[in-house]
Amino acid sequence: MTETQEHRTQSDSNVILPRHRAKTDVVLIVLAFLMAGFGVVAVTVATFPTGSDPDASFLNHVVESSYAMRQCLFLLIAPLVVGVIAVFPHETLRRRSGFIYIATLILLTVVTVFNRAQGVKAWLDIIWGYTIQPSEFAKLAMILVLAANLSRSDHPMATMREKVQIMLLVIIPGGVILLEGETGSLLVIVFLTAIMMYFANVDIKFLLFLAALAILALLALYGILVASGSDDYRLARIASFLDPELYSSSDAYQILQSKKAIGSGGLWGNGMFVDGSLAQLNYVPADWTDFIYATIGETWGFAGCVAVLIMYVLILLRMVWDAYNTKDRFGRLVICGVIGMFLFHVLENIAMTIGLMPITGIPLPFLSYGGSNMVTNMAGIGLVENVMRNRSLSAAVPTPQTMYNPYRVSVHPAYYTGKQRG
């Protein structure tokens, strides 16, 4: 490349193309709130009590259910969450990501140390019977701090010091979350970290090394628990997943009942508020939270399950499109992190509901009951909108790895030169 061509390429790459101009992604917001609204309906059906009049109005059914009423409250708060985060100063999010990370880590530690509950210690009582789950907010903190650190150079984690620094950012809160008993949230963080590292152009060989190390660590931990005769509930869940019939009356009961509920819905479902339904009789434990997909399958059948999947695909594809059309490196990695968070939640939750994965206690985004879950999901949408409003701040630095790897979100410099001259 001649000096003139190089200068022209650099000049053209600073031009803000129409598709990179700041804007609000209205389509993404509409899709998210449509799902959240349907979530209120699903929670209402799942908590339909015995003795209730099936022919009563939907509003009466909502009022009869304390869970549905609370979910409505969470939905009313959602626009505020999205709006505040969307307009929050973009540069402040980047610069203060470390502060957000530390604050979340302190909150996680407080819950772990002072929560007297047996087993899972993930919730903190606040007021009027409401609780918060800091491990949900930790996912957002991890997205921000990882995006800030990985976006500092085009070759992140190139030195041993950088590798150790990034890994400690993940290991420290991950260890605290593991002590809480929240294995599901830990898996989400590990997954979104891998996604963000990949799209930040971390060396593929190092990523494969980390993956192999993680698999070996899990196998070793599983072997130690089995050899020691541990009665840890997580070990019981894995055992019940491997042989559900053997544990049909204990640890595998929830999975078997969930599959029965989904199968009973047939093609079009049995309808809402049906007397004697599995949802009404509470045959599926937690069918308004982690197993809400079982309620959807029984009520709206195969068609309803597929419709939900299509909506999730549309939301994820919309965010992929937003990431592709974002020049700001930090912002692009933030969107990749949000995609990773949603993707793992959807895949793991639905897979465990139909018996393809062990139970991990991961809620279904926008649909499962829970204030912390709803706030985290909407905050994730708010982060994407924040990036979209600031997506033309700076151009990403191209590298041979991003230029020739079609699977990584990048903006090839030839795109700018070709578009501007055409």
Tens of pLDDT, residue by residue over 343-402, are 999 999 999 999 898 888 899 999 999 999 999 999 999 999 999 988 766 544 433 344
Q: Write the CA distances from 311 to 71, 194, 249, integer angstroms.
A: 20, 24, 34
Give the pLDDT mean for 90-115.
89
CA 186 from chain centre, in angstroms, equals: 11
Inform me whether the pLDDT recorded for 3 exceeds 60: no
Work out the percent of the chain whose per-residue pLDDT is above 70. Answer: 82
Band of pLDDT at residue 79, cut at 50, 70 and 90: very high
Q: In this predicted structure, what is the pLDDT of residue 232?
A: 67
The SS3 of residue 378 is helix
**Least reliable range by pLDDT among 21-35, 73-87, 236-250, 344-358:** 236-250
What digits encode the pLDDT tens for the residues 43-77?
999 998 888 888 888 899 999 989 999 999 999 99
Q: In this predicted structure, what is the pLDDT of residue 133?
A: 86
Pairs from 74-77 (Cβ < 8 Å, separation ≥ 24): 74/370, 74/371, 74/374, 74/375, 75/36, 75/37, 75/39, 75/40, 75/374, 77/371, 77/374, 77/375
Inform me whether the pLDDT recorded for 415 exceeds 90: no
Burial of 249: CB neighbours in 10 Å, binned 0-12, 13-18, 19+: exposed
**Least reliable range by pLDDT among 62-71, 186-195, 247-256:** 247-256
Inform me whether the pLDDT recorded for 419 exceeds 60: no
Give the pLDDT mean for 83-89.
94
Q: State the distance between the two ends of the chain, measured CA to CA, in whole angstroms.
A: 20
Please, what is the Cα angle at 304 between 281 and 323, to 5 degrees? 125
Q: In this predicted structure, what is the pLDDT of residue 6?
A: 46
Q: In this predicted structure, what is the pLDDT of residue 114?
A: 72
Contacts of residue 365, defined as CB under 8 A and 6 or more positions apart, other chains included, come to: 35, 312, 342, 345, 346, 373, 377
How many C-beta atoms surround the C-beta of residue 407 within 10 A? Answer: 7
State the chain's mean pLDDT as an integer: 84
Residues 70 and 399: beta-carbon distance below 8 Å? no
Band of pLDDT at residue 11, cut at 50, 70 and 90: very low
Band of pLDDT at residue 231, cut at 50, 70 and 90: low
Q: In this predicted structure, what is the pLDDT of residue 124?
A: 74
Q: Which of 82, 70, 73 is nearest to 31 (CA)?
A: 82
Residues 279 and 46: beta-carbon distance below 8 Å? yes
Compute, in degrees rounded to 10, the torsion defined by CA atoms 241, 246, 252, 253: 160
Inform me whether the pLDDT recorded for 34 exceeds 90: yes
Q: Regarding predicted confidence, which is higher, 416 or 95?
A: 95
Question: For the residues of 328-358, what is the DSSP string, one character each?
Answer: -HHHHHHHHHHHHHHHHHHHHHHHHHTTSS-
Give the pLDDT mean for 293-297.
96
Q: Regarding predicted confidence, which is higher, 418 or 284?
A: 284
Inform me whether the pLDDT recorded for 416 exceeds 60: no
Residues 273 and 61: beta-carbon distance below 8 Å? yes
Tokens of 359: 């139970």
Inform me whether the pLDDT recorded for 403 exceeds 60: no
